[in-house]
Structure formats: structure tokens, C-alpha cells
Amino acid sequence: MTPLSAQKRAEARVGLMLAAPAILLLVLLVVLPVLATAGFSLTDYRLGTQAIGFAGFDNYAALWNDPRFWQSVANTATYTLIVVPGSVGLGLGAALLIESRGWLKPFYRVAYFLPVASTFIAMAIVWEFLMNPSVGLFNQILAALGLPSVNFLGNPQTALYSMAAIGIWELTGFNMVLFMAGLSAIPRDLYDASAVDGAESGWDRFRMVTWPMLGPTTFFVVIITMIRAVRVFEVAAVITQGRPEGATEVLLYSIYVQAFQYFNIGYAAALIVVFLAVTALIALAQARFGGQREANR
């Protein structure tokens, strides 16, 4: 190693200074809480009590043996696996559909975006109305078509999927907006070039230019959709409370119930640690995949 010159040190100092707020916040808001959580997960701490005792891996053992925990893991995974492809695919589709449509573009953009800004609580009620087994609009339509009625959110078979449908509705618009920004950054000449290279159909153009060029955007969209999907909470909290039969019991809801209703901090912490471990695994897989994609560009 050559000794750092004065200039390099100055550059490093400024760089650190600029990054300092981010580093500070990162430590305060992510690193510390995660470490604290890991610590709490080894205790029997309950909010409101003074005593705090070391519990070893008791919490984890309890988790392991708790069927509700496994159910909420499975539910969250299923939900995420439906919502991420669904809302990313629909968002991309919508962006492609709207793209290059002159004067109506802002209108469409706002239309898709509204669900993002809609206060979810009110929307939850709307969805509850829509999916109501007796008076809901969907069942009215099913009845008009001569089909049997479905208790969308009340039936353990359909509750999670209904929740996923709501999730897709909520997340698609935002993804579309991000995809539109990505699409507008693709240089026009690439399409001309692909035409010269023999791309004829719209599908060819998509495959040869749009999709590869959207790589980084897609990576980003998938990540943030995933984050927003795994923390699904509101429907469970407001409409179903995890019912029926735990069909809509999702991880964040379990954490919330354990931590802020039963004040079972140790147990909740163990839940969080498991949750983070799973996201970490997904993150690694994603980063590899996304990293490769970027390298191949």
C-alpha cells in the first residue's frame, strides 16, 4: 500500500462527512434495533415488567413448536409470491400500455397511482364491502352471472388470495410509475437499431430492447415491491384479525400482536429475527440474480 497522499485523505474526509448522516441513521435505526432485537430474543422480557431474564433459545423453541407461527410464515410467503409477480407484471403491462399515449398519459398515471395514496383504512372498508358475502358487489356480479357466491374474506380457502388481490391493487400503480420512468430513459435509437436488426413485432422489440434495458429498473421495482409485500399488515389488522382460522395471519401481524397486545417482547423479537433471516436469504438470492443481470448488460 502506498501511503495516502494529503489530497486523498481530504477526499476521504469529505466523503465520510457527506455520508455521516446516513451512517449515523443507519446505525441508530437499523443496526442497533436489529442487534437489540437479537438480544431481546434471548430473554423473556415482557413490556411493563421490571424483571428481565435470560431465556436462551426458549423463544425460538416455542416458535418452532407453534403451528400458528408456521402458518403465518406460510401465509406471508404465499402472499408475497402472488403479490410480487402480480403487481410487478401488471405494473409493467400498464406502463407499456400507457407509454407514448400523448395527452391521456397524465390521466392514466394518476388513475393507477391513486391506490397508492388512498388511505388504506378507508379502502379496506371499501374492499370489505365489495367482498361481502351477502351484499358485496362481487357477489352481486357472480349472482348475476348465475355463479355461486363466495365468501371472499371469510372462507379460509379464499381469504389469503383475496388479500393478495387487494395487495396487487394497492402496489401496481406505484410500480407502473417507476416503470414509466424507466421506459422513458430508453434511448429511441435502440428501437431503430433493433428494427434494423430484424425486430418486427412488438414482442420482438420488447424482448430485444425494452426488457434488457429495463433491467436495473425491474431489479429496483422487485425489491421495493417485495419489501412492501412482506410487511402486509393492514388487511389482517383492520378486517380479518387473522381470521378465518388463521388464514390471514401474516408475520407482521403476529409480531404486532405479540409485541403490542401481549407485550411479549422476547417472543416477538424471536419472530423478528426469523423474519430478518428469511429476508436476508431472499436478499442474497436477489442480489446475486440482480448483480448478474447488471454484469450481463
Site for another protein in 231-270 (CB under 8 A): 231, 233-234, 237-238, 251-252, 255-256, 259-260, 265, 268-269
Q: Which of 30, 61, 147, 193 binds another protein (CB under 8 A)?
A: 30
CB 72 within 8 A of CB 250: yes
Angle between helices 32-40 and 265-296 (to 10 degrees): 140
Binding map of another protein across residues 185-204, x = CB under 8 A, - = no contact? x----------------x--
Q: Which of 137, 211, 245, 262 binds another protein (CB under 8 A)?
A: 137
Q: Which of 51, 122, 196, 295 binds another protein (CB under 8 A)?
A: 122
Interface segment toward another protein; rule CB under 8 A; list 49-57, 78-86, 138-146, 153-161: 138-146
Neighbours of 290 (CB within 10 A): 18
Which residues, 32 to 71, sit near another protein by CB under 8 A?
A: 32-34, 36-37, 40
**3-state class (DSSP) for residue 54:** strand
Instruction: Choose between 27 and 157: whose C-beta lies nearer to another protein.
Output: 27
DSSP secondary-structure letter at 51?
Answer: -
- Cell numbers that stand for 25 in this block: 441513521
Least separation, in Å, of the C-beta of 108 and another protein?
5
Which residues, 139 to 178, sit near another protein by CB under 8 A?
A: 140-141, 144, 169, 172-174, 177-178
Instruction: Choose between 122 and 157: whose C-beta lies nearer to another protein.
Output: 122
Q: Which of 57, 70, 129, 289 binds another protein (CB under 8 A)?
A: 129
Instruction: Give DSSP secondary structure letters for 117-166.
Output: HS-HHHHHHHHHHHT-TTT-HHHHHHHHTTPPP--TTTSTTTHHHHHHHH
- Cell numbers that stand for 216 in this block: 436495473
- Cell numbers that stand for 261 in this block: 397486545
Binding map of another protein across residues 71-110, x = CB under 8 A, - = no contact? ----------------------xx--xx--x----xxxxx
CA-nearest of 209, 211, 234 to 221 is 211
Q: Which of 62, 74, 116, 150 binds another protein (CB under 8 A)?
A: 116
Residues 6+ apart with CB under 8 A from 220: 178
**How far is Cα of residue 93 from the mean position of the Cα atoms in its chain?**
19
Q: Which of 46, 62, 77, 113 binds another protein (CB under 8 A)?
A: 113
Interface segment toward another protein; rule CB under 8 A; list 1-9, 58-66, 155-163, 192-200: 1-9
Least separation, in Å, of the C-beta of 8 and another protein?
5
Residues 6+ apart with CB under 8 A from 53: 43, 44
Rounded to whole angstroms, how far apart are CA atoms 210 and 206?
Answer: 5
**3-state class (DSSP) for residue 152:** coil
| Count of all residues that appear for the chain in the document | 297
Least separation, in Å, of the C-beta of 143 and another protein?
8
Instruction: Please give the backbone phi and psi of residue 125, each rounded to the nearest 5 degrees, phi first.
Output: -65, -40
Helix H, strand E, coil C: the string for 227-238 is HHHHCCCHHHHH
Instruction: Choose between 50 and 119: whose C-beta lies nearer to another protein.
Output: 119
Query: Can residue 121 be called a binding residue for another protein (CB under 8 A)?
Result: yes
Number of residues this chain uses to bind another protein (CB under 8 A):
107
